Amino acid sequence: DQQVKQNSPSLSVQEGRISILNCDYTNSMFDYFLWYKKYPAEGPTFLISISSIKDKNEDGRFTVFLNKSAKHLSLHIVPSQPGDSAVYFCAASAYAGGTSYGKLTFGQGTILTVHP
């Protein structure tokens, strides 16, 4: 049972335009959400996160939006650059006590291609 789903396997965007990657989750206990980026032959790297007490978090060209009622989050990249071409994974976690988030559940990933 996939608790975190990325329904779009791939996305193609022109350089300079906006990229929107989507993610849905089913577990209402999730209260922290993240996006990771992965280049071929490398491990994933952390990109941006959002707590369930917020509905938006920005970091430069990257913005994550959280809609708790719809159990949906999205990552906006503006403007998109060819170097953003990678696989993007969303992930979710539930608070485990103290300052801990131990278990992390990932989506299937979306391949983003940004064309020059």
Q: Using the minimum distance from each CB to another protein, give the nearer residue, 1 or 116.
A: 1
Contact residues for another protein, defined by CB under 8 A: 4, 6, 32, 34, 41-46, 49, 89, 91, 93, 98-109
Q: Using the minimum distance from each CB to another protein, give the nearer residue, 48 or 79.
A: 48
In whole angstroms, the minimum distance from the beta carbon of 92 to another protein comes to 9
Q: Using the minimum distance from each CB to another protein, give the nearer residue, 1 or 83.
A: 1
In whole angstroms, the minimum distance from the beta carbon of 80 to another protein comes to 22
3-state secondary structure the chain: CCCEECCCCEEEEECCCCEEEEEEECCCCCCEEEEEEECCCCCCEEEEEEECCCCEEEECCEEEEEECCCCEEEEEECCCCHHHCEEEEEEEECCCCCCCCCCEEECCCEEEEEEC
In whole angstroms, the minimum distance from the beta carbon of 11 to another protein comes to 16
